[in-house]
């Protein structure tokens, strides 16, 4: 059987990260930062992330537990045969907060960040399932839209987001990694 056919048949469990998942959160993040295809996708480097102590990763996982623990974020992962193969994080931000780029948040919103799928599972539909789960989380928080920022040169990511219902909002800006555009979809 071809590898692409095997990927398509893989059944991914989509679930929320728990505080006890900190080591797997770390491992998947480091894999994402090492992936040459994601060089224009993350606001961190492998070297910086790899130098963080275990306590940093424990706090990161605990902070991504979401509203079940009174938080404002939810990290979702896709698990295939016990392997973590993909992730997205939804940040719920209130009006007046500062967003992940240091900019003021004009109104309460849900923002998708940290989208990653291991190369071996790309093209399998898992990214769309992760995004749908993120949209469901945003809806549970009373929001009607999910937004994200994507580098203007990241055509592959933009195409994946369009397939998941995102459209450009018309907002463009220069962020820490260069020219970006905002995309949004209803939840």
| Residues in Cβ contact with 130 at an 8 Å cutoff, skipping those fewer than 6 apart | 14, 76, 78, 86, 87, 88, 115, 117
Identify the helix (H) or strand (E) that includes residue 26.
helix 22-34
DSSP designation for 105: P
- Computed over every residue of the chain, the mean pLDDT equals 89
Query: So where are the chain's domains?
Result: 3-186
Question: What are the pLDDT digits (tens) for 45-58?
Answer: 999 999 999 999 99
Average pLDDT over residues 135-150: 95
Provide long-range contacts, Cβ within 8 A and 24+ apart, for 58-64: 58/19, 58/22, 60/22, 60/25, 60/26, 61/17, 61/18, 61/19, 61/20, 61/21, 61/22, 61/25, 62/19, 62/22, 64/17, 64/25, 64/89
Distance of CA 96 to the CA centre of its chain: 22
Cβ atoms of 144 and 186 within 8 Å: the answer is yes
Looking at residue 66, its pLDDT comes to: 53
Ramachandran assignment for 66, one of left (phi > 0), alpha (psi -120 to 50 degrees), beta (any other): left
Of 2, 154, 132, nearest in space to 78 by CA: 132
Looking at residue 19, its pLDDT comes to: 93
Looking at residue 175, its pLDDT comes to: 86
Of 154, 43, 123, nearest in space to 89 by CA: 43
- Statement: residue 69 has pLDDT above 50: no
Give the predicted TM-score (pTM) of the model.
0.88
What token pair was written down for 114? 């940290």
DSSP designation for 21: G
What is the dotted CATH code of the domain comprising 3-186?
Answer: 3.40.630.30
Question: What are the pLDDT digits (tens) for 87-139?
Answer: 999 999 999 888 877 888 889 999 999 999 999 999 999 999 999 999 999 99
């Amino acid at each position: 059987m071809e590898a692409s056919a095997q990927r398509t048949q893989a059944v991914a469990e989509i679930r929320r990260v728990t505080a006890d998942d900190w080591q797997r959160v770390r491992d998947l993040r480091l894999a994402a930062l090492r992936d040459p295809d994601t060089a224009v996708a993350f606001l961190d480097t492998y070297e910086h992330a790899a130098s963080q102590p275990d306590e940093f990763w424990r706090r990161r996982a605990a902070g991504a537990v979401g509203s079940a623990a009174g938080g404002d974020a939810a990290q979702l992962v896709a698990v295939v045969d016990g392997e973590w193969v993909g992730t997205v994080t939804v940040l719920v931000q209130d009006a007046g907060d500062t967003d992940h780029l240091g900019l003021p948040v004009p109104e309460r919103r849900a923002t998708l960040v940290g989208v990653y799928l291991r190369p071996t599972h790309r093209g399998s539909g898992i990214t769309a399932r992760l995004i749908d789960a993120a949209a469901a989380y945003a809806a549970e928080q009373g929001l009607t839209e999910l937004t994200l920022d994507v580098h203007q040169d990241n055509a592959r990511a933009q195409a994946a987001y369009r397939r998941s219902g995102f459209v450009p909002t018309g907002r463009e800006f220069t962020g820490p990694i260069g020219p970006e555009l905002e995309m949004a979809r209803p939840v």
